[in-house]
Amino acid sequence: MTRLSVNVNKVATLRNTRNSGIPSVVKAARLALQAGAHGITVHPRPDQRHIRPHDVHDIAELLEREFPEAEYNIEGNPFPEYLALVQAVSPCQCTLVPDAPDAFTSNQGWNLIAQGARLRPLIEILKQHCDRVSLFLDPDPQQVRLAAELGADRIELYTEPYAAAHARGEGAKQLPRYVAAAELARDLGLGVNAGHDLNLDNLPDLVRAIPFLAEVSIGHALIADALEFGLAETVRRYLAALRL
């Protein structure tokens, strides 16, 4: 079964509009894991717009204390601040994302032709502090091959184009690109994750098309659905969608 990692960034975004600490990122992570989520994802940025350094440490402590089998996935562009956090908490997975400091949200995969030389030594450093390194990629065969050459352990397919097409009733037109990239990654010995704009509607088709998908990281839609269903019930619904 594809594993579910719940991204709690949006909980931190709401919390940061006040100084009361409400809602609690740690409580949200605990609820998600108690409901059956396999892990927690955070994406700290240098501007601390949502996840802040203390959140990274607080969740690490939660997982070590209460959920030692859960995965901790820390996403981010490997700026010095990101590297320092990874070195401090040693997460299960480091997912490198090419978001610029002023980016609204992640909006593309790595261009490894241009950035590979920068990433290669960073991947080697990160492997000393996490179990595996994943690179956020568009479903482009050339980029998948380069990810393997750079020493990545996994790729995370950037699924916004698929999600947008699915919302128009055209998801089937995008799926072959994702399937081809995922199969190539598997053949090269890479694990395959996916994330960005995945939701209860588009997730089942993706998992059916890529049954060996290792993990999905979902935040925005899942937290939005939690406003209607509650967080624990929402996690259960996403887990059910992954089993379809």
Is 196 known to be catalytic?
A: yes
Is 57 known to be catalytic?
A: no
Residue type, 15: R
Give the contacts of 241 (CB within 8 A, at least 6 positions apart). Answer: 200, 203, 204, 207
**CA 54 remoteness from chain centre:** 19
Cα–Cα nearest to 40, from 15, 75, 14: 75
Q: Choosing from 38, 50, 71, 75, which is the catalytic residue?
A: 75
The first and second tokens of residue 87, run together, are: 């070195």
Is 75 known to be catalytic?
A: yes
Q: Choosing from 50, 156, 196, 215, which is the catalytic residue?
A: 196
Residue 113 CB-density burial (10 A; 0-12 exposed, 13-18 middle, 19+ buried): exposed
Which segments of the chain does DSSP mark as H helices, in order? 9-15, 25-34, 53-66, 80-89, 112-126, 141-150, 160-167, 171-187, 203-209, 220-229, 231-242
Q: Choosing from 38, 43, 50, 166, which is the catalytic residue?
A: 43
Which of the residues are catalytic? 43, 75, 196
